[in-house]
Amino acid sequence: MSDCGCDKARKDLEEYLRNEVCKTEHADIKEHLDNCPACREEALVATTLTAVLARACKETAPEQLRDQVLSRLRAEQAAHH
């Protein structure tokens, strides 16, 4: 039984989204995504999630929270020495 390419596209999706597949595979996966709404939706979810995570990693904690965490860490370190 041959599938329509979904299994391969899903397997390679992460590498594809990070541009880590060779040009031939990239073209094949892009063509599959262009013609397969289910895989295209999965790619969109993965892309959106990656963007949200990247944005969250760049945000800075509020100064008050940062100070609380640092003072707690210092207290923990002092307790163990």
Going from the N-terminus, what domains does the chain have, and what CATH number goes with each?
Answer: 6-80 (1.10.10)
Average pLDDT over residues 30-59: 90
Provide the pLDDT for residue 24: 84
**CB proximity list for 2: less than 8 A, separation 6 or greater:** none
Which residue blocks in 1-81 are alpha helix, DSSP H?
6-17, 23-35, 37-58, 63-80
- pTM for the complete prediction? 0.57
Over 60: is that where the pLDDT of 2 sits?
A: no
Provide the pLDDT for residue 1: 38
Average pLDDT over residues 32-39: 93
pLDDT tier at 31, thresholds 50, 70, 90? very high
Over 90: is that where the pLDDT of 34 sits?
A: yes
The two structure tokens encoding residue 5 = 């390419």
